[in-house]
């Protein structure tokens, strides 16, 4: 009687041991790099953390297949100091039957983000060997940022060119007017200027013609 | 009095002060090459040992040429065309050659500035665009071209240049490059709009800013890990290398191109000086500052390259560590950079078979340090990669590219000056075209022709121009310059000119250099250069993703038509020298040098210069 009880108690773990082994056909190897991801805040991998992992996988399976998976349906074995291990998933109704590799893979990929977040890791530090990581596309904003900088610089330069050209034209016009004014200076204006400077205008050289008559 | 003002003699523009003039000359001489060519040469030619041929070349070739150009420009107060016509009508072609070479170089040099601007615009993002690979078309993996090479290479060759695999395949105009080139030319235009009035103000910033940035980089770079590796690598002298003639040739050409002589720009700049200005001191200041800047710039550059090598080496080791840790399921962080070697030896002893099956890279720091580059490779690939590893990458990237832009801009000023002032003196331009309009026309024409460099194959064309226009023609022009002044103008007349300007005659060192040493050196450099080019059919490195050894560049030979263009580029600028000489010989007979005034009762020597200018005006 006692022997039979012990047998039936040990059966699940024996079965589990047989179901979950390294290089299992329906299993995946998982590798965690906790220290790389978290540095000083790294947690130690122990039974509780493993429980969390199993719960996460159970959630992913339930979410994907719409069946109720339990934590005990996820079997973990061959843990190493690296923190790597193998896991397999058994069917919720039948502990001796494993869920197919493809289903597990799809479930993991679907909820990869959630699994990563639960364990405070990311695609690089929580590796499912054989499951390709989902590639994060580089963020592409609507307007390429370089166009904005280009617009600013071109605007300043363009405004500068226009301003300088306009000021040059204005300056030139002003100079032409001043020269024209000075040319129009006739004797009266010259006399006025001399009087202003407190001088007496010498009229002996004022002639109508600048050129000597031949 | 009003009438006199309207006479044809327009006052020659002049510098606001001496500092402006010196900064302009220094800015012209100190260019991008000081930062990306000199450190490379120093590195491949045995570090500290390279300084010996470099300094010898500076003393016997660079400084005499520099002094000569500044002196004749200041004395004869005209730009390159007027000056050489003045010395002897037979030499008139030298001025034209200078102008043509300046124009050709201005076109491709501004393309480099356009690239710098593009990188500058792209530095205002987080993360920097050259740090990641983009996804390929169906979003399943990263772009293959980017995976095989690096994201930095990909950004330069694909997203910036969109380079074609062959110079024959021109590709189309890359619109982003076109607008960057337009911006670069607009900036040049706004600096030149009022001639040296506006350029002289701009040069206060463009000539001094690079020194500020270099200092900031120096301080930052020296604190980076691995900086000492780079510096030790740069400065360890390898005296054996001095026995190779290639070193001396490269030192001579480097100093020559670095000082920007034979462009005509320096002559134009010094022609705006006061008559009695000590040009000997100016030449010494400019020459020595140029070399000192090269040396000063190579320190932060090499510190950063050393940092990059050290980071690359550490990354290589860490990849190995990860491979080993994963394979042997060792606990994390047990194997570190420090104890890697012991672990490796231990694992090799216990599991030799497994180790050999793993993809373990051999990491050699020396190999990383040897990955040197010069030119665009240094700035746009190596340096941008190094910047990614530095904290605060955007700041360093922006600073670096603004520095490169300032360096290039101040050199462009000299190039454009070497085109504009001779154009005005050629009297081809009608009087009603004002200075602003002429500058706009020159910029527009250069921009239009420069659109070649924005094609898919543009980078290959820049290489063609850089290697061939910016080398042999300048050597020829410089040779004729020095021979023209020393022998045709006459050393005695030239000494008198210098005495008039500086108050003392040139000493034996200058005379010996001008008459014998420098022409000889130029001739030897020219012959050696041509001989070296002629030994092998010229090839160019092509970026071909289909090449079997990709990401290495594929060396391809220039097709025949490109070779023809190369020959044209070398011959056409210097063609004017013999053509003008022959023309003057045949049609006008050999005129006596107009600098040699016969005693004329109506010509008082005191008004020599003004009479000369009036003569030129009335022709």
- pLDDT value at residue A209: 61
Query: In the predicted model, what is the mean pLDDT of residues B25-33?
Result: 92
Share of chain B above pLDDT 90, in %: 40
Q: Which residues of chain A have pLDDT under 70?
A: 8-17, 134-139, 184-189, 193-194, 201, 205-214
Residue B330 has pLDDT above 90, yes or no: no
Higher pLDDT, B601 or B443: B443
- B-chain residue closest to A147, CA distance: B121
Q: CA-to-CA distance for A102 and A112, rounded, in angstroms?
A: 15
Residue B340 in 3-state DSSP?
A: helix
Instruction: Answer whether A165 sits within 8 Å of B436, measured CB to CB.
Output: yes
pTM greater than 0.95 (yes/no) = no
Q: In this model, does residue B285 exceed pLDDT 90?
A: yes
pLDDT of res. B3: 38
Q: How confident is the model at residue B584 (pLDDT cuts 50, 70, 90)?
A: confident
Is B332 in the A-facing interface, judged by CB distances under 8 Å?
Answer: yes
Closest by Cβ to B2, choosing from A34, A35, A182 = A182
Q: Do A83 and B332 touch (CB under 8 A)?
A: yes
> What letter does residue B489 receive in the DSSP assignment?
I
In angstroms, what separates the C-alpha of B431 from chain A's closest C-alpha?
15
Contact B550, B149 (CB under 8 A): yes
Question: Of A35, A84, A153, which has the smallest distance from its Cβ to B329's Cβ?
Answer: A84
Tell whether the model's pLDDT for residue B292 goes beyond 80.
yes
Q: Which residue has the higher pLDDT, A207 or B577?
A: B577
Distance from the Cα of B128 to chain A's closest Cα (Å) equals 11
Token representation of residue B179: 């607008």
Residue B202: what are its φ and ψ, rounded to 5°?
-65, -35
Longest dimension (CA), chain B: 106
**Looking at the predicted structure, is the pLDDT value of residue B591 above 60?**
no
Which residues are CB-neighbours of B106 under 8 A, at least 6 positions away? B412, B415, B416, B419, B446
- Residue B160's nearest CA partner among B178, B143, B183, B136 is B178
Which of B120, B132, B333 has its CB closest to that of A138?
B132
Q: What percent of chain B has pLDDT over 70?
A: 93
Give the list of residues 6+ apart from residue B219 with CB closer than 8 angstroms, or none.
Answer: none
- Among the partner residues A150, A182, A185, nearest to B121 by beta-carbon distance: A150
Query: A-B interface: how many C-beta pairs under 8 angstroms?
Result: 78
pLDDT digits (tens, 9 = 90+) for B123-179: 998 889 998 888 777 766 778 888 888 889 899 999 999 999 888 888 889 999 999
Bridge partners, residue B541, by sequence: B555
Residue B283 has pLDDT above 70, yes or no: yes
Q: How far apart are CA A101 and CA B573, in angstroms?
A: 73
The answer to whether B38 contacts chain A (CB < 8 Å) is no
Confidence of residue B8 (pLDDT cuts 50, 70, 90): very low
- Does residue B30 have a pLDDT over 90? yes
Chain B residues inside the 8 Å CB shell of A168? 193-194, 436
Structure-token pair, residue B377: 């490779």
> Which residue in B120, B186, B330 is closest to A157 by CB distance?
B186
Chain B contact for A163 (CB, 8 A cutoff): no
Query: Chain A 184-213, CB below 8 Å of chain B: which residues?
Result: 185
CB A179 to CB B436 under 8 A? no
pLDDT band per the 50, 70, 90 thresholds, residue B604: low
Mean pLDDT taken over chain B: 86
More confident position, A183 or B258: B258
Which residues does chain B have within 8 Å of residue A137's beta carbon, measured at their own beta carbons?
135, 139
Q: Which two tokens stand for residue B312?
A: 């690359």
**B443-459 residue pLDDT tens:** 999 999 999 999 999 99
Q: Between chains, do A145 and B141 touch, taking CB under 8 Å as contact?
A: no
- Interface probe with A: pick from B155, B175, B190, most Cβ of A within 10 Å: B190
Residue B111's pLDDT is what? 95
Whether residue B217 has pLDDT greater than 60 = yes
Return the higher-pLDDT residue of B272 and A22: B272
Given a cut of 90, whether residue B97 has pLDDT beyond it is yes
* Confidence tier at B597 by pLDDT (50, 70, 90): very low
pLDDT tens-place string over residues B466-503: 888 888 899 999 999 999 999 999 999 999 999 999 99
Q: pLDDT, tens digit, for every residue of B391-442?
A: 899 999 999 999 999 999 999 999 999 999 988 888 888 888 888 899 999 9
> Is the pLDDT at B545 greater than 50, yes or no?
yes
Residues of A in contact with B179 (CB under 8 A): 150, 154
């Amino acid at each position: 009687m006692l022997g039979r009880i012990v047998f039936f108690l040990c059966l699940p773990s024996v079965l589990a041991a047989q179901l979950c082994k390294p290089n299992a056909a329906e299993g995946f190897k998982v590798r965690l790099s906790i220290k790389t991801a978290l540095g000083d805040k790294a947690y130690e991998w122990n039974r509780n953390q493993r429980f969390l992992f199993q719960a996460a996988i159970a959630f992913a399976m339930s979410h994907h297949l719409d069946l109720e998976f339990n934590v005990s349906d996820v079997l973990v074995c061959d843990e190493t100091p690296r923190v790597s291990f193998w896991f397999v998933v058994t069917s919720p109704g039948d502990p001796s039957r494993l869920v197919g590799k493809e289903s597990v893979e799809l479930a993991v990929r679907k909820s990869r983000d959630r699994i990563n977040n639960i364990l405070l890791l990311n695609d690089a530090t929580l590796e499912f060997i054989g499951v390709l990581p989902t590639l994060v596309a580089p963020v592409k904003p609507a307007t390429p940022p370089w166009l904005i900088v280009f617009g600013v610089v071109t605007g300043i330069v363009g405004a500068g060119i226009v301003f300088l050209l306009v000021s040059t034209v204005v300056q030139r016009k002003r100079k032409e007017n001043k020269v024209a004014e000075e040319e129009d200076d006739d004797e009266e204006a010259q006399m006025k200027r001399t009087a202003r400077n407190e001088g007496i205008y010498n009229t002996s050289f004022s002639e109508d013609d600048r050129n000597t008559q031949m | 009095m009003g009438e006199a003002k309207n006479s044809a003699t327009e006052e020659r523009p002049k510098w606001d002060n001496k500092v402006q003039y010196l900064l302009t000359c220094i800015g012209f001489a100190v260019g991008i090459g000081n930062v990306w060519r000199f450190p490379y040469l120093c590195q491949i030619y045995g570090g500290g040992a390279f300084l010996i041929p470099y300094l010898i070349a500076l003393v016997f070739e660079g400084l005499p040429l520099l002094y000569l150009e500044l002196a004749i420009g200041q004395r004869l107060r005209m730009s390159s065309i007027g000056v050489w016509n003045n010395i002897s009508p037979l030499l008139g072609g030298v001025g034209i050659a200078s102008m043509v070479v300046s124009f050709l170089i201005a076109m491709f040099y501004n393309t480099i500035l356009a690239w710098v601007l593009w990188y500058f615009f792209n530095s205002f993002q987080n993360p920097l665009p050259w740090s990641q690979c983009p996804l390929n078309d169906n979003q399943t993996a990263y772009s293959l071209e980017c995976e095989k090479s690096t994201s930095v290479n990909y950004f330069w060759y694909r997203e910036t240049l969109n380079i074609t695999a062959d110079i024959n395949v021109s590709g189309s105009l890359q619109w982003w490059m076109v607008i960057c080139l337009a911006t670069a030319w607009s900036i040049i235009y706004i600096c030149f709009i009022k001639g040296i009035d506006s350029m002289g103000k701009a040069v206060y910033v463009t000539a001094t800013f690079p020194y500020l940035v270099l200092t900031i980089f120096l301080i930052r770079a020296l604190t980076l890990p691995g900086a000492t590796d780079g510096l030790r690598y740069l400065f360890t002298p390898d005296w054996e290398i001095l026995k190779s003639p290639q070193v001396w040739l490269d030192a001579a050409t480097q100093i020559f191109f670095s000082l920007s002589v034979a462009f005509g720009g320096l002559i134009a700049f010094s022609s705006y000086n006061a008559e009695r200005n000590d040009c000997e001191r100016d030449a010494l200041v400019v020459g020595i500052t140029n070399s000192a800047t090269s040396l000063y710039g190579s320190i932060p550059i090499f510190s950063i390259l050393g940092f990059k090598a050290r980071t690359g080496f550490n990354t290589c080791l860490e990849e190995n560590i990860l491979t080993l840790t994963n394979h042997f399921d060792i606990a994390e962080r047990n194997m570190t950079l420090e104890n890697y070697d012991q672990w490796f030896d231990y694992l090799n002893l216990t599991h030799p078979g497994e180790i050999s099956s793993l993809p373990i890279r051999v990491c050699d720091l020396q190999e990383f340090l040897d990955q040197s580059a010069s030119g665009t490779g240094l700035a746009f690939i190596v340096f941008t990669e190094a910047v990614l590893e530095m904290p605060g990458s955007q700041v360093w990237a922006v600073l670096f590219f603004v520095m490169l832009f300032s360096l290039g801009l101040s050199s462009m000023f000299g190039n454009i000056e070497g085109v504009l002032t001779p154009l005005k003196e050629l009297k081809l331009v009608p009087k009603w075209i004002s200075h602003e309009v002429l500058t706009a026309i020159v910029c527009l024409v250069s921009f239009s022709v420069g659109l070649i460099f924005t094609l898919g194959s543009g980078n290959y064309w820049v290489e063609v121009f850089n290697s061939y226009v910016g080398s042999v023609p300048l050597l020829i022009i410089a040779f004729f310059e020095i021979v023209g002044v020393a022998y045709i103008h006459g050393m005695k007349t030239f000494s008198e000119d210098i005495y008039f300007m500086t108050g003392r005659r040139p000493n034996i060192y200058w005379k010996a250099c001008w008459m014998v040493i420098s022409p000889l050196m130029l001739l030897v450099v020219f012959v050696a250069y041509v001989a070296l080019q002629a030994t092998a059919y010229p090839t160019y490195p092509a970026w071909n993703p289909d090449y079997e050894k990709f990401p290495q560049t594929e060396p391809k030979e220039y097709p025949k038509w490109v070779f023809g263009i190369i020959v044209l580029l070398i011959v056409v600028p210097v063609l004017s020298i013999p053509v003008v000489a022959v023309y003057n010989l045949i049609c006008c007979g050999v005129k006596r040098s107009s600098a040699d005034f016969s005693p004329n009762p109506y010509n008082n020597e005191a008004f020599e210069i003004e009479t000369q200018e009036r003569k030129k005006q009335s022709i």
